[in-house]
Amino acid sequence: MPNRLAGETSPYLQQHADNPVDWYPWGDEALHKARAEDKSIFLSIGYAACHWCHVMAHESFEDAETAALMNRHFICIKVDREERPDLDAIYMQATVAITGQGGWPMSVFLTPEGVPFYAGTYFPNTPRHGLPSFKQVLISLSEAWVNRRADVERTTVSLRDYYRQESHLLSVTGSTLNPDVPAAAVKAISAGFDRVNGGWGNAPKFPQPMTLEFLLSYHASTGDAEALQMVESTLSHMAAGGVYDHLGGGFHRYSTDSHWLAPHFEKMLYDNSQLARVYLHAWQVTGNDSYRRVATETLDYVAREMTHPDGGFYSTQDADSEGVEGKFFVWTPDEIRDVIGDSAELFCAYYDVTRRGNFEGRNILHSPIALDEFAVQRRIKTEEVEAVLADARGRLFAARSQRIRPGRDEKVLTAWNGLMLAAFAEAARALHRNDYLSLARRNADFVLQQLRTSDGRLLRSWKAGSGARLNGYLEDYSNVVEGLLALYQTTFELRWFTTAREIADSMIAHFAAGDGTFYDTSDDHEALITRPHDLQDNAVPAGNSMAATALLKLAALTGESHYSDTAEQALSGLQDSLSKYPTAFGQWLVAFELALRGITEVAIVGDPALPTTQAMIQTAQGSYTPNRVAALLRPGEQPGVPLLDGRASIDGKPTAYVCRNFTCQMPVTDLQALKAQLQ
């Protein structure tokens, strides 16, 4: 008989609906029951694409004997971390404090009041790898709850103190922005850079799109060659590695090794949104067409496989199919030969496909040698090699599409949609892709119609057949503002700017912490044991760092200094952390560059249907311009955007006004004059 998770909207929770565990979703019913029966709580947090979550579920949660122990001694609660980032953040802090590390599945034991007293991640079904079995953990902790309550209470007191200390450590105090911070951050980033494989750290190695964005911005401001070299090395190695899907486009979550070969095969919307954007920017800076190709293949993957018909973007694609990690993505030489025939020898040589294999006897496609070097070795023209490989990839992709696909988490998360909206909007502008623009508009309409309430507040999660639910978090607000501002600057349709400003004002009203930063939850959110206030960037930008980024852009478009004052107050107090731990504050450094260098504002008055107006728009936006915003006033239109107030065309010609720090140069109607002002 299904348990209480059967009625939930999260696919992750629904995956556990037939467990023999008497699961509850997080809520008053479970917490009241724990208090009424004086039972401790077992809280399990994971997500649908998590491989080890599936392993622990199969080993323990589907096991009748283990489930009986859980049901007898605990109130068991299952949480989707993607729907409830507040609970995930709170209890991840405890897991790290107790064990020294975190991850998923997260296994936390709580008092009925929700205070943690023991935590871990994956526990096996039998003792191994230095870990006790999950049944041993259950028996030990149930005995402690009944017979050693004083020990449990001492632990909870310590963890309450830990939460207070963490909150204090993350508080900020104001000072002026130090212009030496970006250079110090680049020096620290360089010290940890992998000069052989690109990226930072050893195995497992994660993409660092926010760090890469900062380095591109720093290079644009200073001309620093090393900053650009680190970006190019990292992007090239990632695109050549197995972490990139060479047939279908898009990136897997991370590499299990230091050289980007063997990934964990899940694909996350948030990774692909950020990576598509940074590859697009790298193409704009370098002209390297391989970066453009990766950006478009990634976006095409999202459009093809991760988009609801009404325009919302799905969350994740699993690592597993048919119960085997990576099975959908890997190949043997014979399978390849059966599909592409005579091209197989060349294809296998380029993508390092061997009889031995590089992943459990099969092959993850990767290209350890550059295409032009490979062509020289083969004594074939580069374009001829690429033509053969492209044809082979197309046929293998078609054959792969007939396999049983990995599962897909089809919930739509507001924050992640905001990130992907920004990527499609920018790519539409830079690549002149009307299909990307159409998708960006549909996505923005979807989010605002399905995930925004009648009073202008955002909700967190939507799923077909169930609708939207859960209060929006800070990251939902800040990422949607960023996405809408990107879309406005692609279409110059006033509604996107107006809505972005409304959502930003709502964010300030309901999340502000009073020191330039914001809480992760709103002032009318469910009361938890602490109010999350996360300032560190992780796999996604912190809600706070994206808020600072979006508010600085909004200040430039509106002339309202309270937006920039809020962002700069937060930035000023984090300068020491930005200098010392830059890869943990990548989006903050992007915002810092905006605040420190200032934003150039370009107001254009003219009919966008005219080639002369389009030439001005292209001049203002046609290259990588991280510290620039643009607005357009059409003939007969009311300004709407304050940057356009009082602007008029000169002699009926398209006219541009270039401003900086709310001070404008003389308006120009000549394209060369505009270029000179922008330079």
H helices present in 379-433, as ranges: 382-400, 414-431
- In terms of phi and psi (left: phi > 0; alpha: psi -120 to 50; beta: otherwise), the region of 118 is beta
Residues 505 and 564 both lie in one domain: yes
Does 176 fall in a domain?
no
* pLDDT of the residue at 173: 53
Residues 561 and 431 both lie in one domain: yes
- In terms of phi and psi (left: phi > 0; alpha: psi -120 to 50; beta: otherwise), the region of 207 is beta
The model's pTM = 0.95
**Residue 166 binned pLDDT confidence (cut-offs 50, 70, 90):** low
Residues 607 and 565 both lie in one domain: no
pLDDT in tens, 459-478: 999 999 889 999 999 999 99
The tokens describing 401, both together, are 């599409």
pLDDT in tens, 94-119: 999 888 889 999 999 999 999 999 99
**Structurally, how many domains does the chain consist of?**
4
How far apart CA 609 and CA 33 sit, in angstroms, is 64
- Helix or strand (DSSP H, E) at 631: strand 628-633
- Helix or strand (DSSP H, E) at 18: none
C-alpha dihedral, 227 to 228 to 232 to 238, nearest 10°: 40
Give the domain extent around 358: 329-402
Residues in the chain: 679
The mean per-residue pLDDT over the stretch 173-196 comes to: 92
pLDDT in tens, 51-72: 889 999 999 999 999 999 999 9
334 Cβ contact list (under 8 Å, min separation 6): none
Residue 604's nearest CA partner among 567, 573, 643 is: 643
Residues 590 and 605 both lie in one domain: no
Residues 96 and 142 both lie in one domain: yes
Residues 561 and 616 both lie in one domain: no
The tokens describing 419, both together, are 């990130």
The tokens describing 671, both together, are 């394209």
CB 327 within 8 A of CB 319: no
- Beta strand 23-25 with 74-80 is parallel
Residues 351 and 488 both lie in one domain: no
pLDDT in tens, 382-405: 999 999 999 999 999 999 999 999
> What is the pLDDT of the chain when averaged over all its residues?
95
Does 156 fall in a domain?
yes
Cis ω for the linkage preceding 105 (within 30 of 0): yes
Residue finishing a domain among 597, 630, 660: 597
Residue 572 has pLDDT above 60, yes or no: yes
Residue finishing a domain among 379, 402, 425: 402
How far apart CA 241 and CA 253 sit, in angstroms, is 13
Residues 158 and 191 both lie in one domain: no
CATH code at position 53: 3.40.30.10
How far apart CA 291 and CA 284 sit, in angstroms, is 9
Cis ω for the linkage preceding 611 (within 30 of 0): no
Position 291: which residue type?
Answer: Y
The mean per-residue pLDDT over the stretch 311-325 comes to: 94
Does 174 fall in a domain?
no
Residues 451 and 398 both lie in one domain: no
Residue 172 has pLDDT above 70, yes or no: no
Residues 358 and 370 both lie in one domain: yes
Residue 248 has pLDDT above 70, yes or no: yes
Residue finishing a domain among 136, 169, 202: 169
Residue 174 has pLDDT above 70, yes or no: no
Residue 13 has pLDDT above 70, yes or no: yes
125 Cβ contact list (under 8 Å, min separation 6): 59, 60, 63, 66, 133, 134, 135
Does 125 fall in a domain?
yes
Residues 316 and 344 both lie in one domain: no
Does 572 fall in a domain?
yes
* pLDDT of the residue at 519: 97
* pLDDT of the residue at 663: 84
How far apart CA 105 and CA 55 sit, in angstroms, is 9
* pLDDT of the residue at 169: 45
CATH code at position 484: 1.50.10.10
Residue 170 has pLDDT above 50, yes or no: no
* Range with the poorest average pLDDT among 141-150, 170-179, 353-362, 651-660: 170-179
- Helix or strand (DSSP H, E) at 620: helix 611-621
Residue 273's nearest CA partner among 554, 471, 486 is: 486
